[in-house]
Amino acid sequence: MAQSKALLVLENFIGGKFIPCSSYIDSYNPSTGDVYCKVPDSGKEEVEAAVKAAKDAFPIWSSKSPWERSQILNKLADLIEHDLEAFAQAESKDQGKTITFARTVDIPRTVYNFRFFASSILHHITECTEMATMGCVHYTSRAPVGVAGLISPWNLPLYLLTWKIAPAIACGNTVVAKPSEMTSVTAWMMCKLLEKAGVPDGVVNIVFGTGAKAGEALVCHPDVPLVSFTGSTLTAQRITEKSAPHCKRLSLELGGKNPAIIFDDADLSQCIPTTLRSSFANQGEICLCTSRIFVQRGIYSEFLKRFVAEAKKWKTGNPSDPTVDVGALISKEHLEKVRNYVKKAQAEGARVLCGEGVDALDLPPGNQKGYFMLPTVIAEVKDESCCMQEEIFGPVTCVVAFDTEEEVIKRANGVKYGLAATVWSSNVGRVHRVAHRLQSGLVWTNCWLVRDLNLPFGGMKASGIGREGAKDSYEFFTEVKTITIKH
């Protein structure tokens, strides 16, 4: 572990070796506001070296059987699981999330990503048809594409990075990955385990740095035929523009402005705790978080009263305290952005019922300069308000009343995003009806964030292009060829 003035100094991982960089970016501990890590500020030169290493490794890796690749993925999963506590501590410190969330969600899901794709790669089948009258048999074959460029965000750092790396390498591709410059430590830690897992040099390359420099160099590289990106819609627009001249294959998983629709026959004893989680888990920094809650008028007052009372019980503080529910937001700038949304809502005449600007934030002495915010509930917000239209990505949710099913479907669909939605009702016919009409890539009814990785994940409208999952990721990370044999 390289140290400089007690700061952690990361290095790029290219061709199986850690390589120092000529310049570095400060990375902050969100819970204290202190610089604790130096991250390489990579650019064209480093990306060029990483792409070359990935290209050189491709022939050998792509010629391995799915079974051989599967064994290596499972070994890597075992090694990460063995160090689960160290990874969880690092993720919590680097991102600001609670240690409990890192221990129970981020790192276990990272392990499962590798195990899942290690298994699924063994079970895909190709198609075959016969045209007896023509004396022909047609069949399909699938082959890895080449070097995959993978760009992952800061909210679920290793979880979302490995959700891309695992299927890419399982399919026989090699990768150049760029994690967020704000949350790079766990990716760097994982690199230390690759050789022991049996991953050949150059199969997984990690280049650290900003989107503007390292990310752009990766997206523009002519030898990177496919790019998988999770992050903001704005960045995705730039990736699309930069990829167009090369006709690259893109998978874009973007933002959401996710509605929860709560009908008057909902079981509030289940609905309220789950909707609190869907609003405030991971400080509301999950693309699937609920930020618009539509409650049928008959139960609106009761729901609001109970929801606010429970939100006030959520404990905000030092992420390393296992009793804390809400950790720190990712950065000072992001905290200000989220706070400004609350100020705009107040200026528009909305009511802030708890949290930001209403309740006192009581932090331990060591966390006074951290980027903390209380769970915040806003009521009486107009649908056209920026708080109801734009992704806030923080511990803020808006609660509004509705009267009819027809009305709420129209209002729920009235944003540019279409990632996820939740529907709460005990009427089976209604949940099916509403689910079909919502413009969302995922609809949960009477639950939230229950995932089967076999099934497609992704959004409609400005929430993205393409899907991820067992079959979808396999199709994205492979090229299909139709072969016809006349006999």
Q: Which residues form the catalytic set? A: 253
CA–CA separation, 285 and 283 (whole Å): 5
Residues 6+ positions from 36 with CB-CB distance below 8 Å: 7, 8, 27, 28, 29, 93
Q: At residue 210, what are phi and psi to the nearest 5 degrees?
A: -85, 165
